[in-house]
Copies of this chain bind each other. A is one copy, B any other.
């Protein structure tokens, strides 16, 4: 075991080191760090990665002292065998230098900037976040929605992503997404266009734009007061495993997740499922049944795994506190006949438009008694939707005026 190139007792460096040693979502690493703290966990790993006898003693001792690590010696040995090879050449100071050269900082759990939603991940909470742009993540995600979806999006999906993002920004909601082509990019762009804050959660290191075609977009996010972040240190490649794990961060960091467009099999559905597991509300935007790019959204709706959302108000209602953010009712286009009871409605139905009818005739037409008809006519006259002409009655126009006789 060569001497470490950095101060293991520096907790920040230790956390940065762990984000390099353990793959995203490693619950054994998470449990170890939670039990010992990142520095002591590193010290322990150096011993446990030593010769077999020392390792066994270290593992047995830990198992006794930390019942949280109920995984047992076998799982711990396997974990040490995973982390150990990466101890060679480990130097988080180098990666932090890269981050700082990009104007970034490391944000760690328990500090004011840390987005508390991530703590819901339990043992798979990342040891730290590598953040470019605004590091005040906690404030930014207090009201936030993840807009996620297919890379192979349609013009409809891009329109909806941009439209929802703009509407959310107007309602003071931060838009979170994954910086990919398609829905992700449309969501980030929509938020930027509306002058809002947006957060990009990458699967690889924040020093590399992935996909490279979105390099300009990521730069604009950082320059516009948003953030680009990752749990993987600079230099980390975005493997498929890391994409899946990145999706858990998107789900956990946001107040809710909305799938804008997704094929029947789509990574966006994994984000939705993770959000559901974390008890975060999940929305899905419907689309044409004839579009395969909406099949995943319809699948979520069918399975009852998502609420149907069609505009920014409904998305805000999805994540809002009960009674505070309720989507405005759409029953605005009121009709004069809206408040009528069944008898009044039937008399109104029976009223001629361009001739007059006596109550007796209206009674037979509407299937009501004459007394009921006379009562209803009184109400309709008050509402201005029926007018009397001698002993007869007819419908009135919207302004309470009688229609002209057809025969002059």
Q: Interface residues, chain A, CB within 8 Å of chain B?
A: 21-23, 26, 78, 80-86, 156, 159-160, 239-241, 264-265, 285-290, 294-295, 297-298, 301-302, 307-311, 314, 330-331, 333, 342, 345-346, 349-350, 360, 363-364, 366-372
* 8 residue pairs from A and B, CB less than 8 Å apart: A22-B367, A82-B367, A289-B311, A295-B310, A298-B308, A302-B308, A302-B310, A308-B308
With the chains together, A307 CA to B308 CA distance in Å? 11
Tell me the minimal C-beta distance from A162 to chain B in angstroms.
12
Give chain B residues whose Cβ lies under 8 Å from the Cβ of A346. 23, 239, 241
CB closest residue in chain B, given A347: B241
CB closest residue in chain B, given A327: B302
Give chain B residues whose Cβ lies under 8 Å from the Cβ of A289. 160, 285-287, 310-311
Give chain B residues whose Cβ lies under 8 Å from the Cβ of A350. 239
With the chains together, A159 CA to B290 CA distance in Å? 10
Give chain B residues whose Cβ lies under 8 Å from the Cβ of A285. 289
Q: Is the CB of B364 within 8 A of A85?
A: yes
CB closest residue in chain B, given A85: B364
If the complex has contacts A241-B349, A301-B301, are A370 and B85 also in contact, measured as CB distance less than 8 A?
Answer: yes
Q: A86 is contacted by which of B290, B330, B367 (Cβ under 8 Å)?
A: B367
Tell me the minimal C-beta distance from A394 to chain B in angstroms.
16
Give chain B residues whose Cβ lies under 8 Å from the Cβ of A156. 288, 290
Tell me the minimal C-beta distance from A94 to chain B in angstroms.
16
Tell me the minimal C-beta distance from A362 to chain B in angstroms.
10
Q: Is the CB of B82 within 8 A of A241?
A: no
Tell me the minimal C-beta distance from A336 to chain B in angstroms.
13
Tell me the minimal C-beta distance from A65 to chain B in angstroms.
23
If the complex has contacts A345-B240, A349-B239, are A23 and B302 also in contact, measured as CB distance less than 8 A?
Answer: no
Give chain B residues whose Cβ lies under 8 Å from the Cβ of A82. 363, 367-369, 372
Q: Is the CB of B240 within 8 A of A363?
A: no
With the chains together, A156 CA to B287 CA distance in Å? 11
Give chain B residues whose Cβ lies under 8 Å from the Cβ of A369. 78, 80-82, 84-85
CB closest residue in chain B, given A84: B369
Tell me the minimal C-beta distance from A307 to chain B in angstroms.
6
